[in-house]
Structure 1
Amino acid sequence: MVSRTSPRIVPAAFLPAALAPDQARVTYIGHSTFLIESPRQVRVATDYNDYVKPTVVPDIATMNRAHSTHYTLSPDPGIRHVLHGWRDDGKPAGHDVSYQDVHVRSIATNIRDWAGGTARHGNSIFVIEVGTLCIAHLGHLHHTLTPQQVSEIGRVDVVLVPVDGSYTLDLDGMVEVLQALKAPLMIPMHYFSRYTLDRFLERVKADYEIELAETPTVVLSKTTLPAKPKFLVLPGR
């Protein structure tokens, strides 16, 4: 299941703190929260919440409202851009924000509500452009993507993908989404135990290479992306 060859992705621990113009630093904080850092030191925190958060205040915080581990109603006042993945009027969030060398936009998806129905546009896939990379955070995705949504997302280099297989999309559906997006690198998130992570990896190991990283942080660029699509498992902090 785990690649034994030399990794194409270089752990950040062996690199200097400064990033080259084509690089991005990605740190898995835990659950669905990542800290993404740009060459100009802009920080983006995904699914920013009150429980699992980075040790630094981000410049941009994205959120989704599936439950309280994906958002907060009391974000740190130092955050420049707080991007909710939903709107109270049920319309798409429609974010399109640029700050220094980072661009963040959102693509709306539906979400199951607590009554068993569907909340239209209740979740957002956030696409973060940083360095030369395009990173998609799928949020709390509950359904496969339409051709229009795939087109709106566009070409992505890295997908941050929920792999629990129950609270979000089922395993076969999530694999279908990943096949549609065709990203070279996928990083699992939103798993509640080693069992749920291993269940997903068992599902995909026949078709994808899998690498288990030793540190939660990785520095990425176009030149370090794998030649064949692979999963990189980052340990949460």
Structure 2
Amino acid sequence: MPIFGGSSDSEDERTIHHTPKLFTRQQSIHSLFGGGKFADILLWREPKIASTLVIGVSLLWFLMEVVEYNFITLVCHASMTSMLLFFIWSTASDFLNWERPIIPEVVLDESSFKHLARSFHARFNQILSKLLDIACGRDPPLFFLTTISLYILSIIGTCFNFVNLLFIGFVSLLTLPVMYELYEDDVDTVAGKLMRKMRKLYRKVDSNVLSKIPRGTVKSKKHT
């Protein structure tokens, strides 16, 4: 599935007057992410939850990368500290007439897990089908662009360890969608211009190089 529909010069001229949506989508960014709580968090429509996640993950990254905590050691120390604080609070409340700590009951709804699994399955199949379309050569400019992007990502992966890469990915997930929603028209315009240049470059390569590569004749099978 192409990022922008069409590849001819006439369609390139039309896109100047009418900028198509990125990935030829018809839905809003909020609907694209499911339109529920998850989308509200990604697009910072739940600022308290989103900011808490960013602060919590940033603190976790700081402890693991800067302080160089081992993950298992960090979990054990955090658990011991939490248990100690609750123990002191509960014990002191009996002597000082404090209110005892209220431990909320976490109810894991089965339907929520099923909905999350179905959403992940649908998104995974959607991404996989797009990658297969690109790999089959249905949009050659997008194929080269995807290949170059994956190569750049592989270079970035060699510069960071797995924890740093996860942290960068998480921060990007909570910043890029909301930034795109704020500057959607500008991003679509720049991406449209980039794709038009990629298509023109591919047509030149195809006419000057690819079309001149000799191809063997295909022999038809004789049916007896």
TM-score between the two structures when normalised by the length of structure 1 = 0.25
Say which structure is richer in strand.
1
Structure whose residues are more often helix by fraction: 2
- Normalising by structure 2, we get a TM-score of 0.26
| Greater RCO structure (CA 8 Å; 6+ sep) | 2
